[in-house]
Amino acid sequence: MTKAYVHPTLLNNLKVQYQVIRALVLRQILLRWGRNNLGFLWMFLEPLIMISVIAGFVSLVNHSAFEKVHLGIEPIPFIFLGVSSAWTWRFVSHKCGGAFSGNIPLLEHRYIRPFDLFFSAAVVEILGVSTAFVVIYILLMLLGLLQLPHNIPLLIVAWSLMCWFALAYGIFFGAISGAFDFVDFVMRGVNVLFYIISGTFIAVAWVPPEYRDYALITPMIHGTEMLRHAYFGDKLETFEDPAYLIAWNVGLTFLALLIARASWLEDIRE
> 37, 132 in Cβ contact below 8 A?
no
Q: Tell me the per-residue pLDDT of 203-214, one tens digit each, with 9 for 90 and over.
A: 898 889 999 999
> 171, 95 in Cβ contact below 8 A?
no
pLDDT grade for 241, boundaries at 50, 70 and 90 = very high
pLDDT at residue 246, rounded to an integer: 97
Helices marked H in 7-113: 10-33, 38-69, 75-97
pLDDT at residue 1, rounded to an integer: 47
**Which is more confidently placed, 159 or 192?**
159
> 238, 225 in Cβ contact below 8 A?
yes
How many residues would you count in the chain? 270
Q: Tell me the per-residue pLDDT of 69-119, one tens digit each, with 9 for 90 and over.
A: 455 678 788 888 998 899 889 888 888 887 777 777 777 777 788 888 889
